[in-house]
Structure formats: structure tokens, C-alpha cells
């Protein structure tokens, strides 16, 4: 069975060129980047080359890049690092403003700091998933020390007006963090253009290895380290560097920059084909999220009268990998906090699938997916009491009009 992978927002396969760049550092060039001998110096050189590659993709300076174990650590580092320094000598805690549809790496970190004496405000979003700009400045208090709003949502792909949010925050001297994990490699991400002070990225979403990411920290931004130990990463992140992972991440960033425009156009064309195909073939569906301010590769569709899990498992049996809500909450049958924040009710939120495309998907795969979705939805709806009730009601209405 040929597998069709449409779950690139969960993770991407490692690019062969990335693997090739990493292999020497898993085999012979095993030095510790802090060692002063030749093997150590070679590892240090590789780490610094990768730092420059990551920085170039973001329009940053290499010294503003701190390598982490991934997006989750970078989000924790940004929020906890700023909040830890926030407490004033008078003992006043800090306040963070974020959005209701952040990834759990941000949301649960905000909840963590809020339980420890700080405060957090969660901005509501409109029905397309965009924060309401008019509500941003009124959320600031004299204690607000950080605004954290993601660049692109992982479930619906909606892009946030981060540049405008940053402008509002900077008018009050408040630093801004954005989680750009899903945006990187799919839309241009430039730290100066966005005007952000802290920015999170992750390697495994851009055809790099898992377990590697980075936090961009604008020069002059005050932040306490999350991990304590050696003097690695300029004393900003203790722990022996994951040299092969960092090398792979650097190469993945280089490739992402070279291919961005071509990949985005390819993915958008296929995503639109998938959207049109599903809308044409399957009744009672709706597209969730913003229709234009959206990642080029992401399509979130609500199918009335069915559960997303049933659809996912049936598609999996046909060799098609998609997801319901976010990968991090699959296996957790609570409806997605993102879809609820858009105003969907529980039943509608349960009936959604996320299709997230990648650069090697083809038109043939998309057409096969449209066929499979049409077949599977019909089969699952045939077993749905909700759908039967709806059909009976429709028939009764038709009879009364006859």
C-alpha cells in the first residue's frame, strides 16, 4: 500500500541532504563542542556554522540564536525566562498576554507561571482564529512584561497579525515573543520585519531531525536561563550541544530558505485542490480557520454528523495519514481548544480533520485523498445516529412541503 502522508504539521521526514550533513557527526566527528582538542574544535565549528545558517533564515545575528531541545523548550525558555526576571524588588509579579489558541507549549507554560504568582491574559480570537487587534492594548497592565502570540496556528493554519501586535506592545515598552514553529519554511519569517524580541522554531517541522530547536533572543532582551549547569550557549542554555541535531537543523534551515517560494506555491496549489475537491464531493462540510491569512499547506475541515477519530482511523486503513486537532492532543478526546475558541460547539469540534501537506505530496495523492475522504465520510455517516435523525427531519420537511 502506498502511504499518503498529510500530517506535516505533526512532523516532517528528514531530508536526505540533512541526514547526509548529520552523519559525520554521529560517526567519526563525535567531539564535544566545548573540548579544546581537534575533535572538539571541529564540533564547535559545525555548531557555529549551523547557528549562522539558522540566523540567516530569520534575518538575525548568529549570537542571537540559542539552540534548544525543540519548540517546547524554546517556548518555556522565552516565557519563564522573561517572567523570572519580571518580579520587581517590591515583590510585584509579572503579567503575560497571550492568545487562547496557542500551542500547549505556550498555553501550559502561561498556566504554570500563573500558578506561581504571575498573571496571564488569554486574548480571544475571531471566528477565523485571528486575535482581535482592538483587544490587545486594553489587555496590558503596568505589570505586563511579555506578549506571546503565535505566528501560525498548528491546527487551522491561521496567521496572526504579529507585526501589529508587536507594534502595540512596543509602544508600551513590552517585549514580544512569537511561536513560529509552524510558520518557518512555509511563509517568510524575518525577526526585524515582524519586530519581535523572542521567536521559537523547531527543526522537525522543516525536514530536520527531532529534538532540536532554537530560541531567537534579540540583543539586549533580558531573559533568565531555564537550565543551569555549564557555560554552553553563552551561558544561556546549559548542556552539551546536540551536535548532529544542530548540524541537521542548520542544513534544514538553509534548504528551507532556498525552497520557500517554490514549496509554498506547490503546497498552496495542492491544498486548494484538496479543499475544492472535498467541498464539491462531500455535503455538510465547512473549512475552519482563515481562508487567505493561512499557511499554504494547512486545511482544517469540519464534517457534520461524524467524529474526526472515526474518519482518521478509516483513512489510516486506506493508507492516508491525517490528524484530528493537534497531534499533541491526539489520544485525548477533549475537543480542541483552538476549534472551541473559534466558536464551534463540541459536536462540530469533534468532527474535524486536519490535512497538512508537504513538499513531496503530488496531485495524484491529493486526488486519491479526495476519493477516499468522500467514501469514508459516506460510510461513517451511514452508521451515525445524528445523520439518520438529520435525514429523517429533512424527509419530513420535504413531505410537508409536497
Q: Which residues does the annotation mark as catalytic?
A: 328
The one segment of 178-186, 244-252, 287-295, 368-376 that binds ligand PLP by CB under 6 A: 178-186
Least distance in Å: CB of 77 to ligand PLP? 12
Determine the size of the site formed for ligand PLP (CB under 6 A). 15
Residue nearest to ligand PLP (CB): 71
Asked if residue 328 binds ligand PLP (CB under 6 A), the reply is yes
- What whole-number distance in Å separates Cα of residue 309 and Cα of residue 290? 23
Least distance in Å: CB of 388 to ligand PLP? 37
The one segment of 113-121, 165-173, 177-185, 331-339 that binds ligand PLP by CB under 6 A: 177-185
Report the residue number, 158 or 182, with the smaller CB distance to ligand PLP. Answer: 182
Neighbours of 272 (CB within 10 A): 13
Least distance in Å: CB of 387 to ligand PLP? 32
- What whole-number distance in Å separates Cα of residue 189 and Cα of residue 274? 26
Least Cα distance to 268 among 160, 161, 157 occurs for: 157
Least distance in Å: CB of 352 to ligand PLP? 16
Asked if residue 181 binds ligand PLP (CB under 6 A), the reply is yes
- What whole-number distance in Å separates Cα of residue 301 and Cα of residue 352? 5
Asked if residue 323 binds ligand PLP (CB under 6 A), the reply is no
Asked if residue 103 binds ligand PLP (CB under 6 A), the reply is yes
- What whole-number distance in Å separates Cα of residue 139 and Cα of residue 96? 10
The residue from 77, 202, 324, 384 that contacts ligand PLP (CB under 6 A) is 202
Asked if residue 325 binds ligand PLP (CB under 6 A), the reply is no
The residue from 179, 197, 241, 254 that contacts ligand PLP (CB under 6 A) is 179
Asked if residue 356 binds ligand PLP (CB under 6 A), the reply is no
- How distant, in Å, are the alpha carbons of 137, 199, 261, 297, 320 from that of 267? 35, 24, 10, 5, 17
Residue 298 and residue 268 in contact, taking contact as beta carbons nearer than 8 Å: no
Asked if residue 76 binds ligand PLP (CB under 6 A), the reply is no
- What whole-number distance in Å separates Cα of residue 45 and Cα of residue 33? 8
Least distance in Å: CB of 181 to ligand PLP? 4
Task: Report how far apart the first and last C-alpha atoms of the chain are (Å, whole number).
Answer: 49
Least distance in Å: CB of 329 to ligand PLP? 10
- How distant, in Å, are the alpha carbons of 67, 80, 138 from that of 148? 19, 12, 15
The residue from 22, 46, 105, 366 that contacts ligand PLP (CB under 6 A) is 105
Neighbours of 208 (CB within 10 A): 31
Least Cα distance to 374 among 357, 353, 394, 389 occurs for: 353
Neighbours of 257 (CB within 10 A): 18
The one segment of 64-72, 88-96, 125-133, 307-315 that binds ligand PLP by CB under 6 A: 64-72
- What whole-number distance in Å separates Cα of residue 66 and Cα of residue 242? 12
Cα radius of gyration (the chain):
23
Contacts to ligand PLP by CB under 6 A: 70-72, 75, 103, 105, 150, 154, 179, 181-182, 202, 204, 213, 328
Amino acid at each position: 500500500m502506498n502511504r499518503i502522508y498529510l500530517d506535516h504539521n505533526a512532523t516532517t521526514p528528514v531530508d536526505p541532504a540533512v541526514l547526509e550533513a548529520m552523519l559525520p557527526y554521529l560517526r567519526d566527528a563525535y567531539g564535544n563542542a566545548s573540548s579544546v582538542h581537534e575533535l572538539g574544535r571541529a564540533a564547535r565549528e559545525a555548531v557555529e556554522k549551523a547557528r549562522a545558517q539558522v540566523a540567516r533564515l530569520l534575518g538575525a545575528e548568529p549570537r542571537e540564536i540559542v539552540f534548544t531541545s525543540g519548540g517546547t523548550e524554546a517556548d518555556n525558555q522565552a516565557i519563564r525566562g522573561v517572567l523570572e526576571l519580571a518580579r520587581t524588588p517590591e515583590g510585584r509579579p509579572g503579567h503575560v498576554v497571550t492568545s487562547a489558541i496557542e500551542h500547549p507549549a505556550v498555553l501550559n507554560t502561561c498556566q504554570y507561571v500563573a500558578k506561581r504568582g504571575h498573571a496571564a491574559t488569554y486574548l480571544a480570537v475571531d471566528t477565523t482564529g485571528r486575535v482581535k487587534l482592538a483587544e490587545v492594548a486594553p489587555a496590558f497592565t503596568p505589570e505586563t512584561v511579555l506578549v506571546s502570540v503565535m505566528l501560525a496556528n498548528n491546527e487551522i493554519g491561521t496567521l496572526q497579525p504579529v507585526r501589529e501586535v508587536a507594534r502595540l506592545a512596543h509602544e508600551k515598552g513590552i517585549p514580544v515573543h512569537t511561536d513560529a514553529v509552524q510558520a518557518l519554511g512555509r511563509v517568510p519569517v524575518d525577526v526585524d520585519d515582524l519586530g519581535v524580541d523572542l521567536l521559537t522554531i523547531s527543526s522537525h517541522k522543516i525536514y530536520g531531525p527531532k529534538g532540536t530547536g532554537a530560541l531567537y533572543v534579540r540583543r539586549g532582551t533580558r531573559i533568565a536561563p531555564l537550565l543551569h549547569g555549564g557555560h554552553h550557549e553563552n551561558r544561556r542554555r546549559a548542556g552539551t550541544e546536540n551536535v548532529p541535531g544542530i548540524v541537521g537543523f542548520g542544513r534544514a534551515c538553509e534548504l528551507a530558505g532556498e525552497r520557500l517560494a517554490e514549496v509554498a506555491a506547490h503546497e498552496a496549489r495542492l491544498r486548494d485542490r484538496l479543499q475544492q475537491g472535498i467541498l464539491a464531493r462531500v455535503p455538510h462540510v465547512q473549512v475552519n480557520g482563515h481562508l487567505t491569512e493561512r499557511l499554504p499547506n494547512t486545511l482544517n475541515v469540519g464534517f457534520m454528523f461524524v467524529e474526526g477519530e472515526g474518519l482518521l482511523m478509516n483513512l489510516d486503513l486506506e493508507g492516508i495519514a491525517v490528524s484530528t486537532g493537534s497531534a499533541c492532543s491526539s489520544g485525548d478526546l477533549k475537543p480542541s481548544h483552538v476549534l472551541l475558541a473559534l466558536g464551534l460547539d463540541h459536536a462540530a469540534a469533534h468532527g474535524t480533520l486536519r490535512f497538512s501537506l508537504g513538499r513531496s505530496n503530488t496531485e495524484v495523492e491529493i486526488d486519491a485523498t479526495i476519493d477516499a475522504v468522500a467514501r469514508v465520510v459516506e460510510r461513517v455517516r451511514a452508521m451515525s445516529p445524528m445523520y439518520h435523525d438529520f435525514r429523517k427531519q429533512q424527509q419530513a420537511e420535504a413531505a410537508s412541503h409536497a
